[in-house]
Structure 1
Amino acid sequence: MQQSTRNDAKTVKRARRFSVAPMMDWTDRHCRFLHRLLTHEALLFTEMVTSAAIVHGDAERHLRFDAIEHPVALQLGGSDPVELAKATRLAHDTGYAEFNLNVGCPSDRVQSGRFGACLMAEPELVAECVRAMRDATDRAVTVKCRIGIDDQDTEESLDRFADIMVEAGVDALYVHARKAWLKGLSPKENRTIPPLDYDRVHRLRARLSPLPMMINGGLDTLEAAEAEMAYMDGVMLGRAAYHNPMLLAEVDQRFFGVAREPIALATVMQAMAEYADRELANGTRINNIARHMLGLANGLPGARQFRQILSVDACKPGADSSVMYRALEAVNPVLVAEAV
């Protein structure tokens, strides 16, 4: 499918039925290449990239991606409307299908830069950012947020935040169904300690319908994600999809009704080895690709050795795509014959 058709509004809106969350240090372009082998329909997200890094840094390095990744959304971090508009304009020319503003990350580093979850206390500023980004592109501009921060009342403050986003013309909301505690909890603790409140997100979606709204947080299985489709327009999985990537192979059938032949592990490993060969020729280190593949053999005999080869051998000097075939052989030697 051509890039233009993979970026059109109808395709992107449909793709939001299932998306893989933006995750710092994880959902880079190598990870997204792997995930796209497993699901052709889901919406993929970049890691969060700051607007400053794009505008004042190496924009080509931060924005580069493979056409196979479409549809792919760029998540931006920032709070300067002018800078965000410039970053969106540069990214628009690169070909991203959607531009998402991060209003959910609770890390100290992000807070010190005045973006992420702390912006939930400044909805008017977020609205200015959304309007500036919308003026810079004709593609979707969306926001990913929490249900609240610290001592906020999640009924009143979330409604107010969402209403201001609607007034600013946001195209969709992704809501992590937990508060973020900016004082007293680490980013890791913020992923597990604040209680999940799916009902609060369901009420918000019902009140703001037909605004598209996707839910995120604590969805560890496809069954749990499917149950949320009774209330939401889409679901977003993060760590569950990253640590068990083969579950993505079921997404097209279960969430989009698109029948696909089950993809074999050998097929995935061969495609990733061929991708690695191309990337190595451009200076990429094999471990930067292999590190995203550790969960592919979860539950299979030999999975431990599979992970060890990809995590240890891939870091050795001179390592190449052969480590992927050796990892596959640890699971089942017959599969290697099918792959090579």
Structure 2
Amino acid sequence: MILLDKALNYNEKMIAVAPMMDWTDSHCRVFHRLLAPSARLYSEMVHANAVIHGDRAKLLAMDPVEHPVALQLGGSEPALLAQAARIGAEHGFDEINLNCGCPSDRVQAGRFGACLMREPALVAASVSAMIDAVEVSSRPVPVTVKCRLGVDDDHDWDRFLGFVDTVAAAGCGMFVVHARNAWLKGLSPKENREVPPLRYDWAYRLKRERPQLQVVVNGGIASLPEALGHLAHADGAMLGRAAYHEPYLLHRLDAALRGTPEQPRQALLRALRPYAEAQLAAGVPLRHITRHVLGLFHAQPGGRAFRQVLSEGVHRPGADWSLVERALAATAGTPGLAA
């Protein structure tokens, strides 16, 4: 049993699911919303140029149930980011987040992502332009930043604080801090999520020294006690791959913060049925939806059979919700599945 710190007001704390390329699409976010009614959800990163010139119906797809949901933008040109931010706000997103943390080669080549940690003045100019754009839109929303602690072997606290202060002075009031450095050379994006050491104390110190800012901790959070522990020192905790690969963890965290009973996995998945069947009727293949639910029975008896039934059957012609029911039946009567 997890004991909450009674001195904390958990109603004022944020839990969030990180933006993850190829994963946090609209289908994923609908599922996560069913699991965690209070969580802040984030889109995959979309480049500002794509928002302006691309297929917005696809790139900015969103179901009304997803709110509150943020659009994460990539880019480094203030005018383009401002235009994309306005489009995102008017499309219905509740927050526009600027990516200053992704270390991939493709992102570096475009001069955005983590390399922007070295250009605080440019980030500030971008944030200022984005804020101006959303404030004159039909739906003003906050502009936030997701960043690292630094890049490569830069471990200078004052430089990190200077980045935050410069961007905050431009009007950004919330920073999602992935509490490790980004290595721009020599590490893959996957290694960049695992190899550089985590330094949560920097995020905690930022909140202590800049209490007026909203600070959300991200990076390596993989359990309920860890997430709750971060909420004692910061305004929020953002889960990434743990929430995706073990989505019931997200539900448990949401239930703990809201003081509501945990719901059975089967009931949570069946709540997705109306959405799934509406998507099927619109011509969306079932696999686009079920790929996001494969981890629901992670580490549970029957979990392997659940994944196997879905994975093998979803590519067959005519796959529909009955396949999901067969996958659930593979777990039926197995001890330990009531929660």
TM-score (normalizing by structure 1): 0.90
In 2, Cα distance between the equivalents of 1:14 and 1:289?
A: 31
Amino acid at match of 1:19: A
Contact 1:15 1:42 in 2 (8 A): no
Identify if the C-alpha distance between structure 1 residues 297 and 253 changes in structure 2 by more than 3 Å, giving closer, same or farther: closer
1:164 to 148, 163, 166: 166
How does 1:258-337 map onto structure 2 within 5 Å? 258-332=258-332
Amino acid at match of 2:160: L
In 1, Cα distance between the equivalents of 2:296 and 2:228?
A: 22
How does 1:3-22 map onto structure 2 within 5 Å? 17-22=14-19
Aligned counterpart, 1:81: 78
In 1, Cα distance between the equivalents of 2:234 and 2:334?
A: 43
Contact 1:42 1:251 in 2 (8 A): no
Identify if the C-alpha distance between structure 1 residues 309 and 80 changes in structure 2 by more than 3 Å, giving closer, same or farther: same
Aligned counterpart, 1:58: 55
In 2, Cα distance between the equivalents of 1:109 and 1:311?
A: 31
Query: Is residue 219 from structure 1 mapped to residue 216 from structure 2 by the alignment?
Result: no
In 2, Cα distance between the equivalents of 1:67 and 1:173?
A: 25
Aligned positions, number? 321
SS in 2 for 1:331: coil
In 2, Cα distance between the equivalents of 1:209 and 1:166?
A: 12
Contact 1:175 1:201 in 2 (8 A): yes
Amino acid at match of 2:293: M
2:121 to 124, 128, 142: 124
Q: CA deviation at 1:252?
A: 2.9
Q: CA deviation at 1:320?
A: 1.6
Q: CA deviation at 1:289?
A: 0.5
CA offsets 1:120-175 (integer angstroms, 9 cap, x no match)? 11111111110011011121100000000013233122011111011111020000
Note the residue ranges of structure 2 that are not aligned, 5 or more in a row. Answer: 1-9, 135-139
How does 1:97-116 map onto structure 2 within 5 Å? 97-116=94-113
Bigger proportion of residues as helix? 1
In angstroms, what is the RMSD of aligned CA positions? 1.8
In 2, Cα distance between the equivalents of 1:317 and 1:103?
A: 42
% identical aligned pairs: 50
Amino acid at match of 2:89: H
Identify if the C-alpha distance between structure 1 residues 14 and 114 changes in structure 2 by more than 3 Å, giving closer, same or farther: farther
CA offsets 1:255-297 (integer angstroms, 9 cap, x no match)? 3xx2334322222222223321110111211111100001111
Note the residue ranges of structure 1 that are not aligned, 5 or more in a row. Answer: 1-12, 336-340
Q: CA deviation at 1:333?
A: 6.1
TM-score (normalizing by structure 2): 0.91
Aligned counterpart, 2:87: 90
